[in-house]
Structure 1
Amino acid sequence: MAIFGASASQAQDVRRGASPRDLPRLGYERRPIRLGPTNVRIDLDLSALYDTNVYATLRNRTDDIVVYAQPKVQIDWQGANAQIHGEVYAQTRRFVDLTRENATSFGAATSTRLALSRAHNLSTELRYDRTIESRGDPEARASALQRPRKIDVLAGELNYGLRGSRIGLDLTGGVQKSNYLDPNEKDRDFAMFRGSARTIWRPAAPLALFVEAYVNRRNFRTAIDISGINRDATTYGLLAGVSREVTGRLTGRIGAGAFRFDPDDSQLDRYSGLAFSGDITWTPRPRTMMTAQFFRGDVATARIGATGRTDTRIAWTLQQEVRHNLLLIGRAGWTRTQYRGIGADRLSTASAGVEVEYLVNRRFSLFTGVDYGRRTSNDPLEEFSRARLQVGVRAGF
């Protein structure tokens, strides 16, 4: 898998706001398999990665080389008033020395968008993922002597949108179920239910103002976890902000507000905090794109001794066409995880990386990338740093 998994989709016309990867380039245009109104794309990434700190530890670091293979099939169908997208993927990794870390993840997803009328639309999404827990996850419990945890995640979402000349409305409902396959981790299994309502007002194009209210409900599989705590909880939130909804140099939305964490267990304290969420894309030139993403809010936790968790995340991505067949992707990010409860650990993770891709022809490309990450904490045992270097080949049909 590439360090930064860039999309392989291809646009049919030059337009500001499109990713430089998606813009047409003579002799390198992606040609999907066409079956009437259906497009089929088949991708395969093969790569080798050198990891300087596989187990994400402060001391006694262990390095290794990992070989990745990642096939993916995408199907798109478009009718007069409907669009359907489906995809299946897999990723297998094999370590040269640390064979206990070998793992395979896979998944499938489908999404539908239906235009009920000019002002009304309905969209759905359903996906299943078999994921592998990262060794650097602050929630991870598995030791280096155990295999990394496998997690089944099933999620679905339904959205209704109303677009008037001045007023808009978005109603969204979703559910996600996470299941850790290791029986020793069953207290981390949970189902999350989410609902949100967003009202949009457009005083003057292209800017719009919005207010969004949301509620998250988390029900854990076990009545109490290994700490003797009932983790079931409800989080309420309210955001207000601004968005720019038309294609142009600057698009996206950003909102800020507050959230309220309301646990079922009387041992846990209720908590209120600052919340914000947003993403902004700036396209100063057709072949240059920069994206910034922001988030702060309540996050599920089953960490021993913790009564709650708040995450703050900031990420920045640059996509640049250096030459007609040479693409560059740069990325930087910062995450702060604040636990509440015994210990009240604070973790800050900073990362940066770059990837270069050379398009050999419309079917094949070569890529190389490097990234570096470092985590600091008030608990020295939680700290680590690591670098990764990756080279590989991509094929697309």
Structure 2
Amino acid sequence: MSTERNFLMATAAIALVTGAASAAHAQGSAIDLGGESGTAARNFQRDRNIAVLQRPRPDYDAAGVRMGSFLAYPRLMVGVESNDNIFAQKTKTISDTVWHVQPELSLASDWNRHSLLVYARGDLTRYSKNDSENTDDFGLGARGRIDVSRDTNLTGGASFDRLTEPRTSPNAPANAKEPTSFDLTKAYVGATHEFNRLKLAGNFNVAKYNYEDTATAASGQIDQDYRDRTVSALTGRADYAVSPDTALFVEVTGNRRDYRQDRPVVALTRDSDGVNAYVGANFELGAVARGEVGVGYMKQNYKDAKVKDVDGFGARAKVEWFPTQITTVTLSGSRAIEDSASNKIASYVANRADLSVDHELLRNVILSANVGTGKDEYQGSTRKDKVVNAGLRGTYLINRRVGLTGAYFYEKRDTEGLIADRGAEYEVNKVSASLTLQF
């Protein structure tokens, strides 16, 4: 089936969803400053119900520490995990007990207008038997919003993170002696304005990736400089509210991916320019369901003539269903072009679908389950990876300062294609427990 036919069929499906929405008329962080301000969303509010993990719990949410016109939120998580395949290998798997310590401090404004959040966080990981896997990650950042008027707001933010690529990543070097560390620097600015039924939004963001070289088990060195890059994207979006419960949108994003190294230093010049164009609907079906579905076209053009351009059908969706006030079912999916870390392959098309269920057994007991699947289609190669994952989680909020969490996670990756093209295969099971302290 051609890309054009797929696009037309998907557009028709959006129209059906929109028609249905029109006929129906339509523990997350309490200091999250993302999204719209409350002053510019009269025709775009989707708040008839609140997802279980986003619901305020006044008796159990952190109270914060007053610091003038700001509130400070200190938080510490200490956890232990049993991992039966820490190196994500198909054979000769090695298990270990892993300890996690995650301190965090957020400082949030308490203003009538505008908002600002500054944060610092850490993630210290220690392995009982394999200390080569130990990591010390951290992040610093700030984001804010300026309410210019009742219908206009400006947003912006910046962050710096020292991160570690997990062994289960399809981009992780198979023969690395230790995990790959990298620095990620990000910044963004955005603006939103509402003209009654019409809402216009624009956003520019940039991200810089800087990878550290990694040693091999044979005392060699894996040069990771070829992965260093700067990715910038400019997005424009227009939403039109056909009713208080349904809005149609058009969104176009242009991106540029600039790599640090070009040929002949590396086998491929990975620089590219791309575009993603979506049409879709943002809707709320009474207090029963809400979501956003978008379909369209994606394309990535590569500077190197040796690399084939990639284009085709693009999509993203997230729909929340509320069968009861204490249960949230979330279905999400996407299809996008991602960069590959392979020396011979520049990109792959990532297909994802996830289903999660969150249930508030008691006001202070939250149960969650999720299952997901994915397929990565490597361009210019016979390689295709299939991933399945599933998880269970239970959280017991003892009081507003103490919480306990237990979880199980499973993931499996299979790869097919010519032997020279294939990636790593693995199966991982993790069981964890954690204690969270907050103020």
Instruction: Output the TM-score relative to the length of structure 2.
Output: 0.83
Counterpart secondary structure, 2:428: strand
Equivalent position of 1:287 in the other structure: 326
- Please point out which of 243, 246, 263 is paired with 1:204: 243
CA distance in 1, matches of 2:148, 2:311: 39
Greater displacement, 350-359 / 288-297: 288-297
- Aligned to 1:214, which of 253, 263, 267? 253
Counting aligned pairs with the same residue, the percent is: 22
Q: Does 1:378 align with 2:399?
A: no
Matched-pair contact (CA < 8 Å) for 1:28–1:362: yes
Letter in 1 for 2:187: G
Gaps of 5+ in 1: 1-5
Q: Say whether residues 1:123 and 2:155 are aligned partners.
A: yes
Instruction: Report how far residue 381 of structure 1 moved.
Output: 5.8
Corresponding residue for residue 178 of structure 2 = 147
Once residues 303 and 163 of structure 1 are traced to their aligned partners in structure 2, the CA distance between those partners, rounded to angstroms, is: 44
User: Partner of 2:390: helix, strand, or coil?
Assistant: strand
**Residues 234 and 29 of structure 1, relative CA distance in 2, 3 Å threshold:** closer
Of 336, 350, 359 in structure 1, the residue corresponding to residue 397 of structure 2 is: 359
Q: 1:21 deviation in Å? A: 4.5
- Summarize deviations over 1:98-122 as a string: whole Å, max 9, x none: 1100011110121111111122111
Task: Give the match for residue 61 of structure 1.
Answer: 93
1:305 equivalenced with 2:344 (yes/no):
yes
Q: Is the 8 A contact 2:226 2:266 kept in 1?
A: no
Partner Cα separation in structure 2 for residue 241 and residue 272 of structure 1: 19
Q: CA deviation at 1:96?
A: 0.6
SS, match of residue 176 in structure 1: strand
Structure 1 residues 238 and 28: alpha-carbon distance in aligned structure 2, compared to 1, 3 A threshold: closer
* Inter-CA distance 57–63: structure 2 relative to 1 (3 Å threshold): same
The Cα RMSD (Å) is 2.2
2:274 aligns with one of 235, 238, 241: 235
Residue 116 of structure 2 is aligned to residue 84 of structure 1: yes
- Residue type of the partner of 1:384? Y
Q: Does 1:170 align with 2:208?
A: no
Which piece of structure 1 moves more, 28-37 or 50-59?
28-37
Q: Distance between the aligned counterparts of 1:8 and 1:208, measured in 2?
A: 27
TM-fit CA distance, 1:313? 1.4
Change (3 A) 1:226 1:62: farther
The answer for the alignment partner of 1:348 in structure 2 is: 386
Deviation of the 1:248 alpha carbon:
4.3
Checking the alignment, whether the CA contact within 8 Å between 1:375 and 1:384 is kept in structure 2 is yes
Offset of residue 8 of structure 1? 4.9
1:40 aligns with 2:40: no
- Does the alignment pair 1:223 with 2:262? yes
- 1:168 alignment partner AA: K
Q: Is residue 232 of structure 2 the alignment partner of residue 193 of structure 1?
A: yes
Q: Following TM superposition, by how much is the alpha carbon of 1:383 offset from its aligned partner in structure 2, in angstroms?
A: 1.8
The CA deviation string for residues 134-157 of structure 1, in whole angstroms up to 9 with x for no partner, is 11111111525x111111000111
Distance change >3 Å, CA 390–CA 225, structure 1 → 2: farther
8 Å contact from structure 1 (residues 129, 154) kept in 2: yes
Contact 1:175 1:191 in 2 (8 A): yes
1:16/1:202 Cα in 2 relative to 1: closer, same or farther (>3 Å)? closer
2:251 corresponds to which letter in structure 1? E
2:14 equivalent in structure 1:
none
CA contact (8 A) 1:170 1:199 kept: yes
Distance 1:28 1:351 in 2: 30
Matched letter for residue 140 of structure 2: A
Deviation at 1:49, TM superposition (A): 0.3
Taking a change above 3 Å as real, the CA distance of residues 8 and 46 of structure 1, as seen in their structure-2 partners, is farther
Q: Give the structure 1 partner of residue 15 of structure 2.
A: none
CA distance in 2, matches of 1:170, 1:270: 29
Please name the residue that 2:434 is paired with.
392
Q: Return the offset for 1:195.
A: 0.6
- SS of the residue corresponding to residue 132 of structure 2 reads helix
CA distance in 1, matches of 2:299, 2:254: 9
Secondary structure of the corresponding residue to residue 299 of structure 1: strand
Higher mean displacement: 51-60 or 316-325: 316-325
The question of whether the paired residues in 2 share the 8 Å contact of 1:244 and 1:253 is answered with yes
1:211-247 Cα offsets, whole Å, 9 max, x none, are: 1111110000011387511100011121100002799
Are the counterparts in 2 of residues 214 and 236 from structure 1 also a CA contact under 8 Å? yes
CA distance in 2, matches of 1:81, 1:246: 30
Contact (CA 8 Å) 1:321, 1:327: kept in 2 or not? yes
Q: Which amino acid aligns with 1:52?
A: D
- Extract unaligned runs of 5+ from structure 2: 1-26, 33-46, 215-222
In 2, the alpha carbon distance for the partners of 1:381 and 1:185 equals 18
